[in-house]
Amino acid sequence: MAVHLHLHLHPFIILSSTLLILIFCSQTESYTSSHITLPSIRTRSPPVSISVADHGTTGDGVHYDTESIQSAIDACSSAGGGRVVFPPGKYLTATVFLKSGVVLEVQRNATVFGGTRLEDYPAEQSRWYVVLAEDAEDVGITGGGEINGQGLEFVVRFDERKNVMVSWNRTGACSGDECRPRLIGFIRSRNVRVWDIHLNEPAYWCLHLVQCDNTYIHDMSIYGDFNTPNNDGIDIDDSNNTVITRCNINTGDDAICPKTYDGPLYNLTASDSWIRTKSSAIKLGSASWFEFKGLLFDNITIVDSHRGLGLQIRDGGNVSDITFSNINITTRYYDPSWWGRAEPIYVTTCPRDNTSKTGSISNLLFVNITATSENGVFLSGSKRGGLSNLKFLNVDLNYKRWTSYDDGLVDYRPGCQGLVNHSSAGFIMEHIEGLEVENVNMRWLGDRVRKWNNPLDFRPSSVDNISLVNFHSNSYGQ
Ligand SMILES: *[C@@H]1O[C@H](CO)[C@@H](O)[C@H](O)[C@H]1NC(C)=O
Ligand SMILES: *[C@@H]1O[C@H](CO)[C@@H](O)[C@H](O)[C@H]1NC(C)=O
Ligand SMILES: *[C@@H]1O[C@H](CO)[C@@H](O)[C@H](O)[C@H]1NC(C)=O
Ligand SMILES: *[C@@H]1O[C@H](CO)[C@@H](O)[C@H](O)[C@H]1NC(C)=O
Ligand SMILES: *[C@@H]1O[C@H](CO)[C@@H](O)[C@H](O)[C@H]1NC(C)=O
Ligand SMILES: *[C@@H]1O[C@H](CO)[C@@H](O)[C@H](O)[C@H]1NC(C)=O
Ligand SMILES: *[C@@H]1O[C@H](CO)[C@@H](O)[C@H](O)[C@H]1NC(C)=O
Ligand SMILES: *[C@@H]1O[C@H](CO)[C@@H](O)[C@H](O)[C@H]1NC(C)=O
Ligand SMILES: *[C@@H]1O[C@H](CO)[C@@H](O)[C@H](O)[C@H]1NC(C)=O
Ligand SMILES: *[C@@H]1O[C@H](CO)[C@@H](O)[C@H](O)[C@H]1NC(C)=O
Ligand SMILES: *[C@@H]1O[C@H](CO)[C@@H](O)[C@H](O)[C@H]1NC(C)=O
């Protein structure tokens, strides 16, 4: 068996005898990715179809159509379910509640606008959504039209670094400018489908799943203002069996963001999508109180983002069996008030504060990844362990600088050590047990980037059991 081994380590790296280096050339077994049966929405045959216009909407975008829309949804649900149709027009509404069996069909040239007054939303901050399904089954949103949260109306001061937003902090349930309504919420719901719809300008998070099972989000787009904080694309909390595919997400804040607050999250697949964000394109956490397991991210293009693939585990939850495959990433620096430091890949488990437990991260596979970025890969466990069994296979990393932001900061936020001064490196690694790197190329391109002092930056005592096969580190694309 021919072994092609190219280890071009910078002389600065001293491999101490306490570091176990295993070089081998076995064919790697691929991780089994979760194969999820795509959810199907039960529909009546023939389904009931009710137009909101028949329930008295004005469709003028000026008068509130809330009661007419709610009455159409209630009638449709009572009739056993079907479609609630929004014909072309503008529909201004306070919160409407989606009921079991109902699919909203917002047709092309129809826009549903969320209200911008506090009294447009329920009393409890946890129910502030323009469209909210609670304990519902077989529900969805489609139709080719738009749902718009009028997020720009919530900006107090425009700032291209980061807008300053209003706060609806009346009850104390939320703090500072995080007190704004989300756009779409599915809470404790099953068999959810969202497709062929444009979700635009959320005032806060856009599409939020909470304790859902069997959700299929596909062929849809999300657009949020690039300077508005917290306007995440899709947040998936404590939910199982979620499929996201063929989506286009362009947001200020995190684009696809699984979290665990009150229960575990299993089986999430996101594929065939395009993402741009001023924060993380994919982010696990930072809320991470319970397990995350069986996640697959495949065939995703990430452009102009502050961070590509991120794990920000802070609250003691354990993360395992996560695959990132066939992903093309471009990351750059933005204002440091946004989390992210241009890392294409960022894996951290670090207690949020001195009351937090250390969560573990294990069995991560990065395969077929191409990146062009202004900073390197950051992999950090914590002193009490936590990060094990990582594999990088066929990874092509191109480093260059094109913005004028300073480098030299490592970002442990939120909480943990915060921002720390530290020189840049191709890979910064600490507190890891078991790292396998195979067919990985690093290139430093262009005049503004010198090969960083330490292409690989780690203290041997904190990284145990590394295998490097076919690992190249070249300057200036040679
Ligand atoms: C996750 O997916 C696997 C494979 O389809 C399935 O066996 C398992 O039951 C799923 N887990 C949950 C919690 O639904
Ligand atoms: C939508 O509006 C455009 C421009 O006003 C018009 O050309 C098109 O026919 C409309 N489509 C539908 C489905 O109403
Ligand atoms: C939010 O409201 C609560 C109770 O009204 C108050 O104690 C708290 O200081 C407010 N916080 C912010 C950041 O506005
Ligand atoms: C997800 O699956 C786990 C394991 O079966 C279960 O404990 C949890 O309640 C499920 N969550 C939901 C929202 O169904
Ligand atoms: C990858 O996703 C893009 C859409 O973003 C799609 O056009 C392409 O066919 C997908 N590639 C594969 C191999 O599935
Ligand atoms: C994470 O795993 C550790 C070690 O197995 C376990 O003690 C801990 O309870 C787990 N944490 C959670 C939130 O399940
Ligand atoms: C990745 O994206 C960059 C920039 O868009 C492009 O030049 C490059 O060809 C892409 N690489 C792959 C492997 O798709
Ligand atoms: C924990 O952190 C808080 C706030 O930073 C600090 O006041 C407290 O002294 C710390 N406690 C311990 C045990 O370190
Ligand atoms: C990685 O890319 C190679 C070559 O394009 C392809 O054969 C292989 O199936 C890909 N691996 C995965 C896990 O997608
Ligand atoms: C980090 O570096 C900046 C600028 O070089 C300096 O002003 C700051 O004091 C440093 N911070 C720490 C904690 O060393
Ligand atoms: C080293 O790590 C690999 C996986 O990265 C694992 O299979 C192997 O058992 C580990 N060996 C030791 C001695 O810990």
Return all residues near 65 (Cβ < 8 A) that are at least 6 apart.
52, 56, 57, 58, 59, 91, 92, 93
Could you tell me the distance, in angstroms and rounded to a whole number, from the CA of residue 304 to the centre of ligand 7? 12
Output the CA–CA distances (angstroms, integers) from residue 163 to 121, 204, 302, 338, 446, in the order listed: 23, 12, 23, 11, 33
Give the model's pLDDT for residue 43: 58
Q: Select from 245, 272, 300 the residue to mutate for testing ligand 5; criterion: most ligand atoms less than 8 Å from CB.
A: 272
Taken in order 264, 35, 194, 73, the sign of the CA dihedral is negative
Q: What is the pLDDT of residue 451?
A: 76
Q: In 3-state terms, the chain is what percent helix, strand and coil (to 5)? A: 5, 50, 45
C-alpha of residue 109 to centroid of ligand 2, in Å? 6
Atom of ligand 6 at shortest range from CA of 316? 13
> Which ligand has the shortest distance to the CA of 86?
2
Q: Which DSSP symbol is given to 206?
A: S
Check if the beta carbon of residue 436 is closer than 8 Å to that of residue 392: yes
Q: Which atom of ligand 1 is closest in space to residue 294's alpha carbon?
A: 1
How far, in Å, are 18, 88, 202, 250 from residue 281 at the CA level?
36, 33, 17, 9
Indicate if ligand 2 lies below 6 Å from the C-beta of 89. no
144 Cβ closer than 6 Å to some ligand 2 atom? no
Q: Which pTM value belongs to this model?
A: 0.92
- Whose CA is closest to atom 1 on ligand 1? 267
Cβ–ligand 11 distance for 438 under 6 Å, the answer no
N-term to C-term CA, the chain: 28
For the Cβ of 34 lying below 6 angstroms from any atom of ligand 1, the answer is yes
pLDDT digits (tens, 9 = 90+) for 341-384: 999 999 999 999 999 999 999 999 999 999 999 999 999 998 77
From the CA of 27, how far away is ligand 11's center (Å)? 15
Question: To test ligand 6's pocket by mutation, which of 260, 262, 265, 360 has the most ligand atoms within 8 angstroms of CB?
Answer: 360
Gyration radius (Cα) of the chain, Å: 23
Which atom of ligand 2 is the closest one to the Cα of 109?
1
175 CB near ligand 3 (under 6 Å): yes
Q: Determine whether the shortest distance from the Cβ of 387 to ligand 11 is under 6 A.
A: no
Spatial distance between the Cα atoms of 85 and 99, rounded to a whole number of angstroms: 14
**What pLDDT sits at residue 473?**
76
DSSP 432-457: EEEEEEEEEEEEE-STT-PPPS-SEE
Q: What is the DSSP letter of 38?
A: P
Give the three-state DSSP class for 408.
Answer: coil
Query: 3-state class of 4 per DSSP?
Result: coil
pLDDT in tens, the chain (478 residues): 222 223 333 322 323 222 333 322 222 323 333 444 556 666 555 679 999 999 999 999 999 999 999 999 999 999 999 999 999 999 999 999 999 999 999 999 999 999 999 999 999 999 999 999 999 999 999 999 999 999 999 999 999 999 999 999 877 788 888 899 999 999 999 999 999 999 999 999 999 999 999 999 999 999 999 999 999 999 999 999 999 999 999 999 999 999 999 999 999 999 999 999 999 999 999 999 999 999 999 999 999 999 999 999 999 999 999 999 999 999 999 999 999 999 999 999 999 999 999 999 999 999 999 999 999 999 999 877 799 999 999 999 999 999 999 999 999 999 999 999 999 999 999 999 999 999 999 999 987 887 787 788 988 888 888 888 888 877 543 3
Tokens for 57, please give them: 């909407």
Of 328, 396, 441, the residue with max ligand 7 atoms within 8 A of its CB, to mutate for a pocket test, comes to 328
Distance 127 CA to ligand 10 centre (A): 42
| β-pair partners for 89 | 110
Is the beta carbon of 436 within 6 A of some atom in ligand 11?
yes
| Pairing state between β 234-237 and 256-259 | parallel
Closest C-alpha to ligand 7, atom 14: 328
Q: Dihedrals φ, ψ of 177, to 5°?
A: -85, 15
Q: Report the candidate in 93, 57, 107 with the shortest Cα–Cα distance to residue 183.
A: 93
List, in order, residues 6 or more apart from 463 with CB less than 8 Å away: 19, 429, 430, 431, 432, 435
The Cα–Cα gap between 84 and 95 comes to 16
Classified as helix, coil or strand, 9 is: coil
Nearest protein Cα to ligand 4, atom 9: 263
What is the CATH code for 47-80+87-253? Answer: 2.160.20.10
Ligand nearest to the CA of 422: 10
Ligand 7 lining (C-beta closer than 6 Å):
328, 330, 370
Does 73 contact ligand 9 (Cβ within 6 A)?
Answer: no
List, by residue range, all CATH 2.160.20.10 domains of the chain: 47-80+87-253
pLDDT at 113: 98
DSSP string of 311-363, one letter each residue: EEE-SS--EEEEEEEEEEEEE----TTSS--SEEEEEEE--SSTTPPPP-EEE
Structure tokens that stand for 198 in this block = 């444009």
Q: Which amino acid is at 50?
A: I
CA atoms within 13 A on the CB side of 252: 26
